[in-house]
Structure 1
């Protein structure tokens, strides 16, 4: 089986554009959550989010790209360019038909669609919308596949291309799909990751309706509190992470800098409930077990877990149970943290942002903390890292995701020189 490694990273995230700024924020335990500034959020139950301070022109996008691309697509293109530069690959010298694209997104071009609908409907007052008022890029915003096309164009990739949309596990599942394409021989290099720009009135309304987001509006900086006794819901975020994936032997031959191998991946659906999770964590545990088996790793080999850690009580109980089921006693010896405490929950993008964080944690021997974890919930009795980053060399790490609709995904990163 062809083995797949990460050789390039690109990030747009709350708190900073670029991998360097992203990693500095995470390891400092700084939060990027704040009161929503993109629109008047006062009518909504939850009025906080983790917004990106993103200037598309300063990030290198042309006026044509800025007009043509939705905010989420802009994030993806900027991240792609950074990842390509980081990889050291000469994409112009590659066979373009052997370079593919796999991009995750839960809600597509929400920002542009909502803005354009307001125009063609005269602020929602016209049932029969005025198509002549529509911008020329409206259809591009209507189809999420346009974002994969934009990434492919930025990379000169003419091989397999897809958008993976499985809710909040999209960012893990898109990487899993990319790994499969390289393993089966359909591609040699994949530009893969996820992007999301969901912070808009329609998104606020959707999450308010199910009471998933926190009402802690008076203290935005500390609003997201995974594993804390006082947690009250998730905080929306936005951003993108794009990774360059290639076959291990090829990367070694060209002397590439290798962050980690994607050694195992698995996804499951609980076929149970749109938002509900069983406290024992069995659904997530099954995905973890399958990913660990594919990676040929025993539970004792895991050095760190990047938790889903959304800040909801149901999720915290579910994944704590899952870790105990899958790892047994080793679960109590494995450090765990949630970066959503700092950058919010960017829905479909978060899984790829978390994998980027895991790769950087392996690179630097430093585990990001869980911000705002001041009063640990006594029901959650594992080693959740509070407040301050922890130094630890890691050879194998696990990242998990859980999405509304019953989606559960798990991915294992490992050093490629480990013994198999």
Structure 2
């Protein structure tokens, strides 16, 4: 049986993810404010490049102690302080009651993240793709599954906030003409395959698996698989009035397979000798979580990461529309209320991930507003902070993922069969779409 503290924490996590109405004080909006705050401070020369561990295991620096020279310690402390202030402001307004706990926990999270950077800068391992992202996840998983994540540290695990703020910064690195071209091609991958997978998965759950008594769970798993994992699970589960336990189960299944796919699919792309850009499109359309997509795409190179990120964001836009469609379907089909209710644009807007606006805004500013010299000056600093934010996120993912506890939820057969069957269909259809739109045989690519 779960402890009261754990139940309370999981309840807070679930509540944190629920769609909120017409408020600027949400995690999505704070990701936008924080992203633009970092960009503004860099532009005003008030925020310098973060100091991080250096490359070691080479002739120039052969020992681990040379990864953080003594003279870099003050700069590393300033990087900790800067990161704390950035996210501390958001936590103060989002979860003021737990702010004191965040103050205590965040330095420990940053220390683990720094260790991931040290391991990721080991030259021989980095040559084979074992970068800081992989080590961030690995360290988090080791602590969670072998040592057990300390209760106090959970107050610093704001994974989605770290990822979304980093994605806003990523927008500065993707010029708008490239993003527009990639986005239009990405529509073919994300908006064609996604509804097909949702519909066929739900049909499979009802006609083959006979999950008539678990309709809410079935549609929640289907949406999480086809769209974007946790956020889609909560939005669609809420729309279908699924039980809280069903939404939690769908999230558990998604988290388990997201980690497996994040590590396994880049290796599969390499093993099958698939073009990196096509592989990036494949990852963007199939891996459930946005942050995991970025991590997996980075293993295939910058262009693959760019393609994967844009496709996942294009897919994220569907969250609101999918949730509304599910609500209408369940109301008319199972609650016998008809289709008299008109769906407002406000409802769609409420459910749409707002951090996408920050991503687009950053891309527009760096594409059309700032002079080229300013872009060349600011981008290296912004990219470094993006790397720090992503590393914080992946340590958090690992610390939140306990395989024993997640596995308990998938016992019983039908939910796991539904997910695996649907994900296999998703993988096959998305690979075909990725090859058609991003192979260069049918459409020109902006590279």
> Which structure dedicates a bigger proportion of its chain to helix?
2
Q: TM-score, normalised by structure 2?
A: 0.26
Select the structure of larger CA radius of gyration: 2
> Which structure dedicates a bigger proportion of its chain to strand?
1
For CA contacts below 8 A with separation 6 or more, give which structure has more relative contact order.
2
Q: TM-score, normalised by structure 1?
A: 0.28
